[in-house]
Amino acid sequence: MHEVERLIQFEDPSTVAAFVAEPIQAAGGVIIPPDNYLAQIREICTRYDVLLITDEVVTGFGRLGDWTGARHYGVQPDIMTFAKGITSGYQPLGATAVSQPIIDAYIQASTGEPELRHGNTYSGHPVATAAALANIAIIERDNLLDRTRVAGDHLARLLRQIAQTLPSQVADAGSEGLLGRVELRNDGHQPPGTLGNLVTTKMREAGIIVRPAGDVITLSPPLIITSEEIDTLIATLHDVLLEAMPA
């Protein structure tokens, strides 16, 4: 976060409009920040009058056990972007939420009736928005946020265990909510990404879908996953690692 402040100062704060961040960088290999990272970024942005925009496409709607990643880390951004989780993927939908000062700026700039006007070709599609409302209702009805916290704690324990029991295969493993990572230990004899693709293929053959990000195996199970299913997931990963990467 100190580098962020240094760059803002270097560029001149008056030229910096916003700082955009995923609360957890998913596509980069589930890069989990320190607990206070986003809060310190919020403080820096406020100090220099820079907007904080959080990309909640992956971390929103329950993935971390809270409605958003920003809320999970106790932060109020100026703008949040959503997709995927807002409908659980049943319909394509993107959305943007803005804070009161942003709304006020739009209203003050309106030439007619006060409005927050922003148009897209497919804005407000009734089927996509109906799917979002139904999905949110199910998340609330089935207490999926609470279930995700419990399942996430179980996943985190098992990932710590797999890192401890397979040090020759695993360089690091961890999770936040139901978003996990297993960084494979590459001794440099394999081109980057080779091990990740190998383990992913063998996991798929065993009936479990995971995603490689180079040599990091990323885990993003459904919010309704049970403890028994998490046990199966990690046990299968354990066996695959021993088969694909013998010590």
> Residue 175, SS3?
strand
Tell whether 107 and 219 lie within a shared domain.
no
Q: pTM of the full predicted structure?
A: 0.90
Integer Rg of the chain from CA: 21
CATH number for the domain harbouring residue 111: 3.40.640.10
B/e letters for 102-133, b = 16+ CB within 10 Å, e = fewer, are eeeeeeeeeeeeeeeeeeeeeeeeeebbebbe
Nearest to 67 by CA among 95, 46, 32, 44: 95
Q: Is the dihedral of CA 207, 155, 95, 55 positive or negative?
A: negative
Same domain, 99 and 8: yes
In this structure, are 94 and 137 located in the same domain? yes
The average pLDDT across 6-28 equals 95
Instruction: Tell me which residue range forms the domain holding 52.
Output: 2-141
Is residue 19 within 8 A of residue 50, CB to CB? The reply is: yes
Q: Tell me, what CATH number does 158's domain have?
A: 3.90.1150.10
Same domain, 96 and 217: no
- The model's confidence at residue 179, banded by pLDDT at 50, 70 and 90, is very high
**Statement: residue 12 has pLDDT above 90:** yes
How high does pLDDT run on average in the chain?
A: 93
Q: How far is CA 125 from the centre of its chain?
A: 25
**The pLDDT value given to residue 224:** 96
Do 107 and 79 belong together in one domain? yes
Backbone angles phi, psi at 134, to 5 degrees: -65, -40
